[in-house]
Amino acid sequence: MHPAFRAAVGGMVTASVWLALSGGVCGQPPGLDAREKADAARKKAREDARIALGRALFVREWVPDDRRTHGGDGLGPVFNDRSCLGCHHQGPTGGGGGSAATNIELITAVPAGAVASGSNGFYYAFSFNYGPDGFEYHIGEPPGLNANANANRGRRDARRHAGAAAPNVAELVRIHPGFRDAPSVVLHRYGNDADYRSWREWVLGDHGAIAIRTSQRNPTPLYGLGQVDAIPDEAIEAEARRRHPGWPQVNGRVARLADGRVGRFGWKGQTANLRDFVLSAAAVELGLEVPGHAQAGDPRIPPIRAKGLDLDQDECDALTAFVRSLPAPTAARPDGQRTTVARKLGRSLFRSTGCAACHVEKLGEVEGLYSDLLLHAMSPDLSDTSSYKAFQAAEPPAPAPARVVPAGARGGRANRPPALEEWRTPPLWGLRDSAPYLHDGRAATIDEAIRLHGGEASASAQRYRQLTDRERSLLQGFLLSLAAPDVPDLR
Ligand code: HEC
Ligand code: HEC
């Protein structure tokens, strides 16, 4: 094509788009600026349509054998709720769950009749090794607060208990096949099959030498997660190197995944990016087959591949785009001079009480997050299983080979999975609208949540207890000004 002709065709196309957008009232050929505007408008329209589709998928109530899939089987075979909105609706769409009824339930196998030590009892830790020595695992006491000492003790216990004292893997797998891959597995609330309910009750019962312990996870609000996703890894790593004058026990570490990536989502910082979390939520919570994530499987039958996809790539992109589009929480507007002053005082108490050492106000470019996204060792009372998985309807892919830990990450602690007492600092933005609090929602109020802080946070919690009633209420007043964003309620 002759260059001049090509330019003319290009001009005609642009002109017609531009005329369409401007209502066709102007006879002048558009300049570069108008063309850019038209491109931007088209791009925005596409993005808006994508978010609208994502919103529809977020609120969609799935049914078994749903006809809206791509050859998939819809909801289930096992699931925890029928829609994302079912657990993320508080304050309003995209928030937390608002009550224990939306918590997800995990099970862990422990030796029956073990003498409880601390509130957590004995725990069972599992390391799977398919080498010539077969499985290796150990039973030990709940770790105290010194993570390094625990790692050493864990290794000693592993040597002591490898083989003989450990429960038989076959027995564990007979209770739940998910125990083959992880120490704790998601016990789904519902199954499409009518007998699932009674099977579930059987799992929760006694099994000879093995007892099943249950624990819970509280749904986190999803506001502002697009911004959290965009925080550079380096900002989180820098936060882990920072020391806190006056609060020497605060010693957070990066939640590094087995493959070396920086974890930032989930109560244990177990997931590296938003897309991964959204897709695995679809697979685990709703039992949807999505690209790269096999749907949760019925544990009573051997893994079988799903018939087809429940959500295709475009729909997964749309669902992620919708979650990414949820605005960040905001500070509620003070209703007068007195509130403004009280809030300032509360905020400075937040700093002077040591809260801001972990609940960092600004991380990367994100203002008002109140989190360092690092793992901190909390009190033994808050200890709970380190990692969990869902049994999948297909064999999980082989784990990725471990990557070299980047320079700057701290020695032996760097790649360890979170210890039982380690939790990622939850962002406090939106706090007013996200009760109940803590990883299992055990704290009904902010005051209760703070009083349960221990371990690295014990000096700070101690300082909080020593405040006067008036100071405590100023501090709480400040925290209660952190509100969910104003988004439409889609329920
Ligand atoms: C049965 C309740 C339930 C349903 C349904 C559910 N979630 Fe969640 N969601 C949770 C819980 C519990 C957590 C915290 C899990 C953890 O960290 O261990 C969570 C965490 C998340 C997070 C991570 C938030 C953060 O800040 O770390 C994202 C993202 C998320 N959910 C998205 C979704 C999407 C998208 C859907 C629908 C496909 C969905 N969830 C359905 C209970 C649910
Ligand atoms: C050593 C780090 C650290 C310090 C210091 C700290 N926190 Fe926390 N905070 C955490 C972690 C980790 C959790 C989550 C624990 C869990 O869920 O078991 C948490 C949870 C919370 C929660 C519940 C949030 C939610 O969404 O459930 C509130 C509220 C809170 N902290 C407020 C405070 C206040 C106020 C202070 C100061 C008095 C403080 N924290 C000091 C690390 C810290």
Is the predicted pLDDT of residue 344 greater than 50, yes or no?
Answer: yes
**Least confident interval from 61-70, 95-104, 148-157, 195-204:** 148-157
pLDDT in tens, 109-146: 888 775 443 223 333 343 333 233 333 333 333 333 23
Can you tell me the distance from the alpha carbon of 286 to that of 342, in angstroms, rounded to the nearest whole number?
Answer: 44
pLDDT at residue 386, rounded to an integer: 79
CA of 360 to the centre of ligand 2 (A): 11
* 250 within ligand 2 shell (Cβ under 6 A): yes
CB-defined site of ligand 1, < 6 Å:
80-81, 84, 86-88, 102, 104, 217-220, 222, 225, 265-267, 274, 277-278, 281-282, 285-286, 319, 323
Model confidence at 310, pLDDT cuts 50, 70, 90, reads: very high
Q: How many Å lie between the centroid of ligand 1 and the Cα of residue 169?
A: 30
- Give CA 266 to chain center in angstroms: 2
- 360 ligand 2 Cβ < 6 A: no
How many domains does the chain fold into? 1
* pLDDT score at 30: 61
Helices then strands, each counted (H, E), the chain: 13, 13
Position 242 in a domain:
yes
Looking at residue 4, what is its pLDDT? 38
What does the DSSP 8-state code read for residue 324?
Answer: H
Identify the DSSP state of 137.
E
- 67 occurs within a structural domain: no
DSSP-based three-state secondary structure for 490: coil
For atom 13 of ligand 1, the residue with the nearest CA is 219
Higher per-residue confidence, 465 vs 125: 465
* CA pair distance 330, 1, nearest whole angstrom: 55
Asked if residue 73 belongs to a domain, the reply is no
Between residues 210 and 404, which one has the greater pLDDT? 210
* Ligand 2 in reach of 453 Cβ (< 6 A): yes
> What is each CA distance from 117 to 72, 120, 143, 381, 382, in whole angstroms?
46, 7, 10, 11, 14
The whole-angstrom separation of Cα 260 and Cα 403 is 5
How many angstroms is it from 204 CA to the middle of ligand 2? 31
Q: pLDDT band for 218, please (50, 70, 90 cuts).
A: very high
Ligand nearest to the CA of 187: 1
DSSP state string for 149-208 = HHHHHHHHHHHHHTTTTSPPHHHHHHH-GGGGT-SEEE--SEESSTTHHHHHHHHTS-BT
What is the maximum alpha-carbon separation in the chain? 88
Q: Which residue type does 464 have?
A: Y
Question: How confident is the model over 40-48, as a mean pLDDT?
Answer: 96
Residue 24 lies in a domain: no
Question: Of the candidates 227, 217, 215, 253, which has an alpha carbon nearest to the alpha carbon of residue 430?
Answer: 227
Ligand 2 contacts CB of residue 378 (under 6 A):
yes
Average pLDDT in the chain: 83
Under the banding of pLDDT at 50, 70 and 90, the label for residue 414 is low
Kindly state the average pLDDT of the residues 278-297. Answer: 97
**Domain enclosing residue 214, as ranges:** 78-483
Residue 436: HSE in the Cβ half-sphere, 13 Å Cα cutoff: 15
Alpha helix segments (H runs only) across 286-403: 313-325, 337-352
Q: 29: pLDDT confidence band, cut at 50, 70 and 90?
A: low
In a domain, 49, yes or no: no
Q: What is the pLDDT of residues 388-408, one digit of tens each?
A: 999 998 865 555 444 444 444
Mutate to test the pocket of ligand 2, among 450, 458, 462, 463 (most ligand atoms within 8 A of CB): 450
- Domain membership of residue 296 (yes or no) is yes
What average pLDDT does this structure show over 325-339? 92
Q: What is the mean pLDDT of residues 163-171?
A: 62
Residue 274 lies in a domain: yes
Residue 412 lies in a domain: yes
- Work out the pLDDT band at 365, boundaries 50, 70, 90: very high
Residue 258, pLDDT > 90, answer no
pLDDT at 96: 95
